[in-house]
Amino acid sequence: RVNYAEVGNDAAPLSLINTYTRSSNFQGQPIYSLPNTNLNPNLKPERTNSFEVGLETSVLDNRLGLDVTYYKTQSVDQIVSGAVSSASNVTNAYVNGGTINNEGFEVQLTGTPIKTQDFSWNITVNWSNNKSTVESLPNGLENLQLASFQGGVTSNATPGEPYGALKGTDYVYTNGQPTVDQATGRYMISSTSDKIIGNINPDWIGGIRNKFNYKNMSLGFLIDSQHGGDIFSLDMYYGLATG
């Protein structure tokens, strides 16, 4: 099979024009306030172009089947809430987030090891991987901060990096090895928190589903697995800092 598709997506309701929020009166006087996220009347709809090619086949009277797919998608003008300087009186703003590519493989293997008049055992194994890359950002931006956490760690969209890349402080390296401060005997830490330190996207995900049928009864269970993908643990951060 081969297919190509284009789909669109709009912003959340009430994302275009800033409106005041009514709060409780203060000493009899009405109070109104603006939201912390600046809305954007110039938002354009998201568009995703996708291409897919795949092969599906089965043998042995459908006792063994294989489905393999390669896909590639390009999302243009993604709508995101990016962090901005709080000096602007807001902390976030809705913007169109540039161009993001995703590509990967999906594989599914099905089998029926046992099949009798009263009993059957069916197995489905699936595996997939996805590579996400930020191709460009709007208005020539070099980085779009998606979220920020304690410890100076942020989630970002950066051209050439996976969507959601984690940034923070890192060791100072010499010839690929962490540099030791001769005065303290400790590893030297970068003075800025804009170093790539992690990728939230998993290397692959997979699962195995077993289903047993006996006459009019059936029992099934699923085992899922995810390999790779970095997580920033605030508990670990404080635990390392405080011993």
Give 137-160 pLDDT, tens digit per residue. Answer: 877 778 888 888 888 899 998 999
Backbone φ and ψ of 88, nearest 5°:
-80, 0
Q: What is the pLDDT of residue 211?
A: 96
pLDDT tens digits, 70-98:
999 999 888 877 777 777 777 778 888 78
- The partner residues of 50 in beta bridges, in order of sequence, read 5, 73
Q: What is the pLDDT of residue 80?
A: 77
| CA 100 – CA 161 distance, rounded (Å) | 10
Cβ count within 10 A of residue 144: 20
DSSP structural state of residue 232: -
Amino acid at 181: D
| CA 16 – CA 93 distance, rounded (Å) | 11
Q: Which of 226, 190, 186, 189 has its CA nearest to residue 205?
A: 226
Is the pLDDT at 111 greater than 80? The verdict is yes
Three-state SS at 87: helix
Show the CA angle centred on residue 194, arms to residues 192 and 198, nearest 5°. Answer: 125
Q: Are 110 and 127 in contact (CB under 8 A)?
A: no
Look up residue 33 and give its two tokens. 């306030």
Cβ count within 10 A of residue 205: 17
Is the pLDDT at 227 greater than 90? The verdict is yes
Q: What is the pLDDT of residue 42?
A: 86
Higher-pLDDT residue of 177 and 89 is: 177
Look up residue 96 and give its two tokens. 């169109």
| CA 191 – CA 172 distance, rounded (Å) | 9
| Neighbouring residues of 217: CB distance < 8 A, sequence distance ≥ 6 | none
**pTM beyond cutoff 0.85:** no
Q: Which of 208, 238, 204, 234 has its CA nearest to residue 221?
A: 208
